[in-house]
C-alpha cells in the first residue's frame, strides 16, 4: 500500500513534468509566432509611420512668455503607432505627472486626446498643436484648440506654450538621471 506522502510526491512530480511539457510547447509556439511576426513586420510599408515616432526629451519651454530652461530634460514624451505617453519628474527627481492617449498628425498639425492622466481633469481633453521638425529637434506650439470631454471649447483657458524637444538617444538623459538617483539610495 502507498502512503499519502509518496502519492503526493508522485502527483507533484507528474504535475511538474506536465507543466514543463506545456511550457515547452508554448515556448516553441511563441518562438514560431515571433518569427512569423518578424517576417510580417519586415514586409510592412513603413511610409505611414509618423515623423514623431520615438522618444523626445523636453529641454526648453516658454509658457505665456516665461522661459524655462533648466539644462536638463524636464519631460520625456513617447510617440508610437497612434499613441503618446509622457512622464514628468518634480524638482526632486520623483515622478510627479504622467499621461497617455491617442494622437493624429495631419501635415504640421498634431492632435492628442488624453485617455489617462495623473490629473483627472485632463482625462478626455483633446488638444491641437502646431509643430516644426528639423532633424532631431521638434518644436511644438500649444494650444491652437482645446476641447473638454463634453465638447466645450476651452482654448482660451489654456496657456500659450512653445516647447522644444530633442530626440532621445538609446537611454534618455532623464531616465539615466533618475536611475542614478535611485541606485544612490
Report whether pLDDT(160) > 80.
yes
Strand 75-80, strand 83-89: pairing:
antiparallel
The neighbouring-strand residues paired with 99 are 86, 117
Residue 164 near residue 61 (C-beta atoms within 8 A): yes
Domains and CATH numbers, the chain: 54-184 (2.40.128.20)
The pLDDT tens digits of the residues spanning 56-70 come to 999 999 999 999 876
Residue 103 near residue 125 (C-beta atoms within 8 A): no
What pLDDT is stored for residue 91 in this prediction? 77
What pLDDT is stored for residue 101 in this prediction? 97
The pLDDT tens digits of the residues spanning 38-97 come to 554 444 444 567 889 999 999 999 999 999 876 778 899 999 989 999 999 887 878 889
Q: Is 166 exposed, middle or buried (0-12, 13-18, 19+ CB in 10 A)?
A: middle
Closest by alpha carbon to 61, among 131, 133, 140? 140
pLDDT band at 1 (very low <50, low <70, confident <90, very high): low
Amino acid at each position: 500500500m502507498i502512503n499519502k506522502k509518496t502519492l503526493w510526491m508522485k502527483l507533484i512530480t507528474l504535475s511538474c513534468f506536465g507543466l514543463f511539457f506545456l511550457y515547452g510547447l508554448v515556448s516553441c509556439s511563441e518562438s514560431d509566432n515571433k518569427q512569423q511576426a518578424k517576417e510580417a513586420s519586415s514586409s510592412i510599408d513603413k511610409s505611414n509611420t509618423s515623423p514623431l515616432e520615438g522618444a523626445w526629451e523636453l529641454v526648453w519651454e516658454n509658457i505665456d512668455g516665461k522661459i524655462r530652461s533648466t539644462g536638463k530634460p524636464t519631460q520625456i514624451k513617447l510617440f508610437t503607432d497612434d499613441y503618446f505617453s509622457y512622464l514628468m519628474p518634480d524638482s526632486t527627481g520623483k515622478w510627479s505627472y504622467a499621461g497617455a492617449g491617442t494622437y493624429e498628425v495631419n501635415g504640421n498639425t498634431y492632435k492628442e486626446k488624453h485617455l489617462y492622466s495623473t490629473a483627472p481633469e485632463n482625462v478626455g481633453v483633446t488638444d491641437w498643436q502646431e509643430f516644426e521638425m528639423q532633424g532631431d529637434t521638434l518644436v511644438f506650439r500649444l494650444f491652437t484648440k482645446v476641447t473638454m470631454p463634453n465638447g466645450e471649447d476651452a482654448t482660451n483657458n489654456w496657456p500659450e506654450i512653445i516647447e522644444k524637444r530633442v530626440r532621445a538617444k538609446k537611454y534618455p538623459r532623464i531616465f539615466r538621471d533618475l536611475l542614478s538617483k535611485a541606485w544612490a539610495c
